[in-house]
C-alpha cells in the first residue's frame, strides 16, 4: 500500500505576529540581502577593472555573480 497523501496548498502564516519581532526580522533579512548584493557587485567590479581577471574562469564567476544578484532580487510566489 502506497502513501496517497498529496499536498495541494500551503498557507504561510508569517514568522511572527509580534510587531517588534517583525521589525527585527525585517532588519536581519535586509542586512543579509544588502550584504549579498554588495558582495556580488564587488566581485563584478573587481573582475571588470582588473585586466588580469579577464580569463574564462572569471568570465563564469562574473556571470554567476550577476545571476546571484538577479535571483536574490526576484521572488516567485
Kindly report, residue by residue over 11-65, the tens digit of the pLDDT. 667 777 888 988 998 999 999 999 999 999 999 999 999 999 999 999 999 999 9
**DSSP string for residues in 1-25:** --------------S-S-HHHHHHH
Residue 34 carries which DSSP code? H
8 Å CB contact between 29 and 16: no
Under 8 Å CB-to-CB from 22, ≥6 apart: which residues? 15, 16
Predicted pLDDT of residue 76: 60
Kindly report, residue by residue over 37-51, the tens digit of the pLDDT. 999 999 999 999 999
**C-alpha–C-alpha distance, residues 77 and 71, integer Å:** 13
**In angstroms, how far apart are the furthest CA atoms of the chain?**
63
Amino acid at each position: 500500500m502506497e502513501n496517497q497523501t498529496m499536498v495541494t496548498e500551503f498557507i504561510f502564516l508569517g514568522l511572527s505576529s509580534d510587531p517588534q519581532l517583525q521589525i527585527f526580522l525585517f532588519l536581519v533579512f535586509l542586512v543579509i540581502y544588502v550584504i549579498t548584493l554588495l558582495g556580488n557587485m564587488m566581485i563584478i567590479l573587481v573582475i571588470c577593472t582588473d585586466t588580469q581577471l579577464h580569463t574564462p574562469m572569471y568570465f563564469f564567476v562574473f556571470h554567476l555573480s550577476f545571476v546571484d544578484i538577479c535571483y536574490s532580487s526576484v521572488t516567485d510566489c
